[in-house]
């Protein structure tokens, strides 16, 4: 169908779900095999995601001139109390290919106004790497690439792993694992990433403790009994079937360049093969020069991007109706004369 650039944006209602699900399914390539609950190219799966969408953020649809759904966008509000963040996940947006740029611009105009109205000034949108037009559209709207999700086949990684000893983590390793986690957060606070080190250390400790005791997950560390030089946490991927995804991955600064990261990746690949996975995934901050070089250099190909926009919160109180002429009448007289 041909979509006019003049669309009407209205709140999402249940009666729009089936058409929105069709748009979502059409926007994604089939995963190639049975993957219950994850293949967004399956209209039934897409509809189930829409019916289960979070109700804690705004959701809107774009209607064309005939009143048909031409696109939709929904946001989930998360984050620290008093500093909410809005996430638009992969399954929370789609548009008809014809006029997609104009549709996304109108959808985000409505969503962003509602989000800033509730004090939410950090917005992220997850987009398949195949959707280049949507990525470009979001960049035009003030977003930038923030996170990259990469996937690689389960082949042995290139590069020397040295003589780094590896072993599964034990409960008594938790203090060192937490120390490395804090080191990672401090590293992310450096240029050019410049991320404040705001983490819930208790939640991370609880998750590491659970992962150590879960045979479906892997916590693999590198180093000797007395000193841990790096570790990774690996889980089955919730979106990519058959993929074992590395969550936390850290090598202490003093051990970089000695093959510790390559050894850990090799250990992950071995574990994933034994467990019947077909691929390995991970996610990294695009501005992290060390991680970006390492993961790309070891064969990880971008499959999804998360784009972020951080809005100056002063927009909530700065009076846009005030003009320079109101503040400095003499400026107006000078310019007029």
pLDDT of residue 162: 67
- Per-residue DSSP letter, 108: H
pLDDT digits (tens, 9 = 90+) for 256-285: 999 999 999 999 999 999 999 999 999 999
Write out the DSSP string of 127-166.
Answer: EETT-HHHHHHHHHTT-EEEEEEEEEESSPPSS--TT--E
Is the confidence at residue 337, as pLDDT, over 50?
Answer: no
Q: How is 284-303 classified by DSSP, letter by letter? A: EETT-HHHHHHHHHTT-EEE
Reported pTM: 0.90
pLDDT for 1 equals 45
In 10 A of CB 16, how many CB atoms?
19
- Top mean-pLDDT range of 36-45, 77-86, 325-334: 36-45
- Cβ neighbours of residue 251 closer than 8 Å, sequence gap 6 or more: 222, 229, 230, 260, 261, 264
Query: Mean of the per-residue pLDDT values for the chain?
Result: 90
Q: Over the stretch 292-305, which tens digit does the pLDDT of each residue have?
A: 999 999 999 999 99
Per-residue model confidence (pLDDT) at position 327:
62
With bands split at pLDDT 50, 70 and 90, how would you rate the model's confidence at 34? very low
Q: What is the pLDDT of residue 163?
A: 79
Say how far apart CA 141 and CA 139 lie, in whole Å. Answer: 5
Digit-coded pLDDT (tens) for 85-138: 999 999 999 999 999 999 999 999 999 999 999 999 999 999 999 999 999 999
Supply the pLDDT for residue 159. 75
* Helix ranges, the chain (H): 17-26, 43-51, 100-117, 132-140, 174-188, 201-212, 260-274, 289-297, 324-327, 329-336
Distance of CA 11 to the CA centre of its chain: 25
Inform me whether the pLDDT recorded for 65 exceeds 80.
yes
Q: What band does 318 get if pLDDT is binned at 50, 70 and 90?
A: confident
Does 291 have pLDDT greater than 70?
Answer: yes
Dist. CA 247–CA 219, nearest whole Å: 10
What is the pLDDT, as a whole number, of residue 5?
A: 58
């Amino acid at each position: 169908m041909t979509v006019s650039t003049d669309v009407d944006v209205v709140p999402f209602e249940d009666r729009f779900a089936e058409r929105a699900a069709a748009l979502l399914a059409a926007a994604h390539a089939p995963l190639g095999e049975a993957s219950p609950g994850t293949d967004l190219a399956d209209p039934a799966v897409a509809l189930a995601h829409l019916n289960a969408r979070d109700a804690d953020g705004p959701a809107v649809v774009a209607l064309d001139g005939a009143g048909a759904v031409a696109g939709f966008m929904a946001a989930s509000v998360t984050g620290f109390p008093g500093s909410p963040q809005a996430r638009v996940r992969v399954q929370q947006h789609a548009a008809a290919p014809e006029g997609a740029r104009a549709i996304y611009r109108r959808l985000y105009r409505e969503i962003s106004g509602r989000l800033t109205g509730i004090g939410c000034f950090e917005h992220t949108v997850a987009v398949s790497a195949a959707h280049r037009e949507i990525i470009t559209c979001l960049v035009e709207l003030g977003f930038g690439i923030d996170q990259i999700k990469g996937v690689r086949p389960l082949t042995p990684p290139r590069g020397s792993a040295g003589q780094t000893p590896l072993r599964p983590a034990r409960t008594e390793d938790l203090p060192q694992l937490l120390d490395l986690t804090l080191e990672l957060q401090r590293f992310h606070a450096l240029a050019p990433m410049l991320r404040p080190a705001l983490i819930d250390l208790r939640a991370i400790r609880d998750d590491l403790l659970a992962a150590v005791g879960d045979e479906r997950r892997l916590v693999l560390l590198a180093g000797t009994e007395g000193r841990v030089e790096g570790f990774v946490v690996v889980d089955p991927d919730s979106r990519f079937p058959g993929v074992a995804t590395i969550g936390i991955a850290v090598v202490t600064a003093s051990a970089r360049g000695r093959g510790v990261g390559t050894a850990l990746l090799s250990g992950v690949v071995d574990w994933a093969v034994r467990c019947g996975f077909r691929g390995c995934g991970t996610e990294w901050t695009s501005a992290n020069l060390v991680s970006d070089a390492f993961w790309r250099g070891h064969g990880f190909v971008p499959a999804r991007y998360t784009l972020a926009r951080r809005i100056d919160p002063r927009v909530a109180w700065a009076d846009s109706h005030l003009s320079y002429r109101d503040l400095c009448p003499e400026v107006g007289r000078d310019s007029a004369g």
